[in-house]
A and B are shown apart, each in its own frame.
Chain A
């Protein structure tokens, strides 16, 4: 038997290896195939709406982009306000769990917050209409009269409290669990040595968190925010139930005329849509697909840029 290069030793392929690598390849291929199938469906169904002539589209929109613009604005606006509420709270809760609370309390709190993630969005929607909206309405009226000089609080105040601000609060509650979970995991991974060094240099606990934990956790916090943003952008039922939508682009957060979100608009209009109306809604879904894709790409970029300090090492 003559062998070529004696240096290279080839490992014998074992059955287990083959099966395992084969199944991972299949799993990877399936997710790509599903994504591709969704994208192809969206694009194919969108084309009639994209090339529609004036007068054919819903809301008397001259073309698709005019139709979808208020929805894009509403989607991003609602998600952004939700993120403004949820980010500080989730960082606070995560820090409390990782650095302040006694272990038993921390564990319990962790489970309670994870439980919040298991509540279906319809329940949040019902809570939004029946509890939150009537409860915040008097406060909105007060804000409108007394702080009305602030541009966001201007306009005719809503009588029902079902405004984009209420929606943003509901969304913030919905994205809290996932953001808190990610932040907590990252904060827990702060190198023990950094923390102890800070304390040894005379830092108080807050100073230790500021100098050691937060800088270390920043990329994690950003990716947590992006995950939360992704969920807030796509949330459908709760928004559809709580929001009082109109076809507007408005920054006022206390009025009855709020820009709708893409997902909620699809949920509201699909049941009675026919013909080109369906294509238009699917095309707006494609726009949401692209927005979510961009958000995820940005999150990846931010996390990768700071890879050296990410939770991965």
Chain B
């Protein structure tokens, strides 16, 4: 009797351990987009498989695009693996991925290495397809609006401005109910394109305060760190008197600061972010058709939002395999199209490309072979 009970509990504990082990091992989910079910109205002639690797920021948009694209073209399979921008570029250059998604344009050294995918003599190109404004989100009771300039933001995120009633903040927010409480700064704990673009903005606009170069890793040892956009959002929501930089899509439910651009304060807007990207010059010294953008962080236009992340699709100008080229061109054309941009805005919270930039991108995509 006793023995039996013991054997039972032992069996139960072994089962529990086994279950725990399985749970531990099964924590990674596949990222495959759902295969399209319905047939399209105009039967598509495209068929084949496209494999993309790259930016996790673009991940949600790529899932939306591939799902839409597969619905329209039932014989096509698009896989996108959000391993990260660096991994995406490396895989593309080595030929392991048909296209890459990257929060940074190809570097010169990467451009110099020919990918086996691209026809000899042609180069890889960067196509801006994903724009995400970065917000300064805060959680302070009773504080409806908050106005900040670049130097103040740099001071807060560097740790030199430590209290909400600091004179630098007060001067810009006359009459606002600023608590006399310490500021809890939250930044990303994982390397990210968001950090890269945020630090790029600060080092361009407040170089005297923000004395570290732009980087994917948060450069100062201050404040709280949290994982991913959702982790940062959770941390800010859970802590009073906190502030963070975050992709706008993750900032719902939090206060968003207005940013001083030129001489006026600007509210965050998708159009303002898209506008900055459209007005920024194309990075110099690249092949024609390469639309790598040198974001003008110091833009002073009305309503412009220069704290913005641009993510690229990286493809060949001419693929060695013509069928692949046709497929990539069709997919990229959808991503950059108005429908594709709206789909990304809905599913990933990105800012749609402005019409002029979209037209420019579409013109280049039409030449992909």
* Chain A contact residues, CB within 8 Å of chain B: 58-59, 110-111, 114-115, 117-122, 129-130, 133-134, 137, 158-162, 177-178, 181-182, 184-185, 188-189, 237, 240-241, 243-248, 256-257, 260, 268-275, 277
Q: Is the CB of B231 within 8 A of A129?
A: yes
- Within the complex, the shortest CB–CB distance from B94 to chain A, in Å, comes to 12
A244→B226 contact, CB < 8 A:
yes
User: In the bound complex, do residue B235 and residue A162 qualify as a contact, i.e. CB atoms below 8 Å apart?
Assistant: yes
B9 to chain A, nearest CB (A): 6
Pairwise interchain contact A159-B241, C-beta atoms closer than 8 A = yes
| Inter-chain pairs besides A117-B20, A244-B235, 11 sampled, C-beta below 8 Å | A58-B217, A59-B217, A110-B9, A115-B16, A117-B17, A120-B27, A178-B17, A244-B223, A268-B190, A269-B190, A274-B85
Say whether B86 contacts A275, CB under 8 Å: yes
Q: How far is the CA of A111 from the CA of B12 in the complex (A)?
A: 8
Q: Which residues of chain B have C-beta atoms less than 8 A from A182's C-beta? A: 13
Establish whether residues A114 and B235, one from each chain, have CB atoms under 8 Å apart when the complex forms: no
Chain B residues closer than 8 Å to A245, beta-carbon distance: 189, 225
For residue A161, which residues in chain B have a CB less than 8 angstroms away from its CB?
A: 238-239
Query: How many angstroms between the C-alpha atoms of A129 and B242 in the bound complex?
Result: 15
Interface centre among B189, B222, B240 (most CB of A within 10 A): B189
User: Smallest CB–CB gap between B58 and chain A, Å?
Assistant: 12
22 contacts between A and B (CB under 8 A): A110-B9, A114-B15, A117-B20, A120-B23, A129-B231, A137-B239, A159-B224, A160-B186, A177-B16, A178-B16, A184-B9, A241-B231, A244-B225, A256-B222, A260-B189, A268-B191, A272-B193, A273-B191, A274-B85, A274-B86, A274-B90, A277-B86
Contacts of B193 in A (CB 8 A): 272
Residues of chain A within 8 A (CB-CB) of B85 are 272, 274
Chain B interface size range: 35 or more
**Taking the complex as formed, is B19 at the interface, i.e. its CB lies under 8 A from any CB of chain A?**
yes
Does A272 contact B239, Cβ atoms closer than 8 Å? no
Contact B226 A121 (CB under 8 A): no
Which residue from chain A places its CB closest to the CB of B16 in the assembled complex? A114
Identity of the chain B residue whose Cβ is nearest the Cβ of A131 in the assembled complex: B238
From B56, B89, B182, B242, give the contact of A271 (CB < 8 A).
Answer: B56
* Chain A residue at minimum C-beta to C-beta distance from B85: A272
Q: How far is the CA of A189 from the CA of B82 in the complex (A)?
A: 51
| B222 CB contacts on chain A under 8 angstroms | 256-257
Which 9 A-B residue pairings sit nearest by Cβ, starting from the closest? A274-B86, A159-B184, A114-B16, A272-B191, A160-B239, A181-B13, A244-B224, A272-B84, A117-B20
A268–B189 contact, CB under 8 A? yes
Query: Is B321 an interface residue, CB under 8 A from the partner?
Result: no
Question: Does the CB pair B224–A181 fall under 8 Å?
Answer: no
Contact A178 B20 (CB under 8 A): yes
Q: Tell me whether A160 and B17 are in contact (CB under 8 A).
A: no
Residue of B nearest to A246 (CB): B221
Instruction: Give chain A residues whose Cβ lies under 8 Å from the Cβ of B4.
Output: none
The reply to whether B192 and A162 form a contact with Cβ atoms under 8 Å apart is no
On whether the beta carbons of A274 and B87 are closer than 8 Å, the reply is: yes
CB-CB nearest in chain A for B15:
A114
Contact partners of B216 in chain A: CB under 8 A: 272
Q: Is the CB of A160 within 8 A of B184?
A: yes
Write the nearest CB–CB distance from B197 to chain A, whole angstroms: 13
What per-residue 1/0 map shows which CB atoms of B167-191 lie under 8 Å from chain A? Answer: 0000000000000001010100111
Given contacts A160-B235, A160-B239, A269-B190, contact A118 B20 (CB under 8 A): yes
**Whole-angstrom CA separation of A257 from B12 in the bound complex:** 41
Interface centre among B221, B222, B234 (most CB of A within 10 A): B234
